[in-house]
Amino acid sequence: MEYAITAQNLSISFREKQILKDITLNIQPGEIFGLLGPSGAGKTTLIKLLTGQLRQDSGFARLLGTDTRKLCAREHRQIGIMMDTLGLYERLSAYDNLSFYADIYHVPRRKITDILKDIGLYEARNTAVSKLSKGMKNRLSLARALINDAKILFLDEPTSGLDPVTVKEIHAILAKQQKQGSALFLTTHNMFEAESLCDHIALLNEGHIIEYGKPSEICQKYNHLNRFQITLKNGEVVSLKNSRDSVSQINAYLEQEQIETIHSTEPTLETVFVELTGRGLN
């Protein structure tokens, strides 16, 4: 299968400062890929390289089989981008914003109504962007990225600062795009988002990918403790090895109905990142 996105040893520097170093990744059609890292790690720069907005110093990248340094209108019509700068016209209504981009992409305007309904903005279609909430603006920005049935979606922290209900709605939209075969390149600080949505993730720190793989496999790889943590009904917390040696003790707690909660100790993506870098993702 031809990759939707591929990069090999991609590097770039600004004013002698290394921003990205030897970035290598492959993303298939129908895959959600998550790029995790703190502010300043190089996430947005990587998106700009992969979409042809910047040129790398070394290495290569291809989008739908085309060198990203040679992207033309044909490839750009197959890309949808949602960046942290929304790119919306504040004085225009939600509908008129999408109409503007629909005309650019030669998309029939009748499609706008369907998209507005899908993202829950149909009732606000005639409202000026300046009067929309942050969550509504994010959804409208996502609608703009979806207007051209893109084969690849680049989404730069699409749920940042949003309430849980809006986040859930956006996740449903992204899952729908994945089922339709689009490749999604997602940057996020949200660990739940990465673990629940992404097929593969990369942890980016100071311009380097320090870990790459399936979220569950990365967490398991760094499960050094491999223990059960049991909270008893009397408030006592007991830590037991995840081995046959603990079976009799756990059975005893169960028979006596003493267990309030029981959890395994595998790390989260956040704790893995902290272990590898000594710093958090925020």
**SS3 assignment for the chain:** CCCCEEEEEEEEEECCEEEEEEEEEEECCCCEEEEECCCCCCHHHHHHHHCCCCCCCEEEEEECCEEHHHCCHHHHCCEEEECCCCCCCCCCEHHHHHHHHHHHCCCCCHHHHHHHHHCCCHHHCCCEHHHCCHHHHHHHHHHHHHCCCCCEEEEECCCCCCCHHHHHHHHHHHHHHHHCCCEEEEEECCHHHHHHHCCEEEEEECCEEEEEECHHHHHHHCCCCCEEEEEECCCCEEEEECCHHHHHHHHHHHHCCCEEEEEECCCCHHHHHHHHHCCCCC
Per-residue pLDDT reduced to its tens digit, 195-228? 889 999 999 999 999 999 999 999 889 888 788 8
85 pLDDT more than 60: no
What is the pLDDT, as a whole number, of residue 112?
95
Indicate the pLDDT class of residue 269, thresholds 50, 70 and 90.
confident
Stretch 248-258: mean pLDDT: 92
pLDDT, residue 86, reads 67
Residue-wise pLDDT tens digits, 4-59: 999 999 999 998 899 999 999 999 999 999 999 888 889 999 999 999 999 999 99
Q: pLDDT at residue 1 above 60?
A: no
